[in-house]
Amino acid sequence: MRLLVVEDEPDLADALARGLRREGYAVDVARDGEEGYVKAQVYPYDLVCLDLGLPGLDGRAVCRRLRAGARPEGAPRPRILMLTARDALEDRIGGLDDGADDYLVKPFAFDELVARIRALLRRDSQPGGSVLRAGELELDASRHEARRGGVPLSLTPKEFALLRYLLSRPGEVVSEGQLLAHVWDENADPRTRTVRVTVMTLRRKLAAAGGALQPIETVVGAGYRLRDGA
C-alpha cells in the first residue's frame, strides 16, 4: 500500500516515513499542504497521514480539496488520517466534517498510528482484522508474518507489500502499473523491470513453501491475479 505523509516538522516526517517503510508501506513525504495536495493529484495514494497545522494551505483545506478533486486515472479517494496537536472537540469535529476518516492527537504512539492505518485500509479490503487469507496463504500485517500452508515465508519488505496488495484484492487482475503505483514510492523508475523481478522472486519463495499450484497467475497482456484456493 502507498501512503503520503504531509508534515512540516522535518524530524517527525522523516521518522514517520522510516517507521512506515519498515512496516512494508511505500511512503512519500510532503513538507507543506500545497505540495501534499499536488502529490495526491499525481499519485494514487491509498492513505494520507495529514498534519492539521500546516503552513500556508492547512490540513483542513487540503482535506476538503482532496475530497472534492479528481483522482489520478480514476483511482478511489485515499483514506485520510489527520494528525494534530489540537485536541479540542471542535477541532476534531471540524476535521471529520471536512472529510477526514480518522483523527490522531499528538503526541501519539507509533504502534497506535500503524494500527489505525491498518484499520482504515481494511475498510476497502476483506474482513478478518489484520490477517489476510486466500487458500493456503496467510498474511498477518500486525506481526509482519506470512505463511503458505503453515510454512513461514521469509520475504523482503517489498515482497511482503506486494503479497499484501494482491491478497487485499482476491480474484482481481492487477496490472504492473497498479503495483508500481501502490507498492513502490515516487522514486521508483517505471522504465525498469522492478515489478517483474519482485513478482519472480516472490513466486520462487511461494513455490519453495510447497503447494500444487503457483498462487500468482500471469494474465497475459493484463497483469497478475491471485489464484482462487491456491
Q: pLDDT for 47-88, tens place per residue?
A: 999 998 898 899 989 999 888 876 666 667 889 999 988 777
**Same domain for 101 and 158?**
no
Same-domain status, 44 and 81: yes
Residues 35 and 70 placed together within one structural domain of the fold: yes
First to last CA, the chain: 22
Place of cell 513455490: 207
- Among 71, 90, 95, CA closest to 181: 71
Q: Are residues 53 and 90 part of one domain?
A: yes
Residues 6 or more apart whose CB falls under 8 angstroms from that of 172 comprise 225
- The total of structural domains in the chain comes to 2
**Same-domain pairing of 112 and 170:** no
Domain boundary among 102, 122, 142: 122
Structural domain span for residue 86? 2-122
Q: Answer with the one of 101, 122, 143 that is the final residue of a domain.
A: 122
Same domain, 59 and 116: yes
Return the DSSP state at 28: E
Residue 15 and residue 95 in one domain: yes
CATH of the domain at 166: 1.10.10.10
The mean pLDDT value for 174-201 works out to 88
For residue 48, the domain's CATH number is 3.40.50.2300
Q: Which range is most confident: 15-19, 20-24, 60-64, 188-192?
A: 15-19
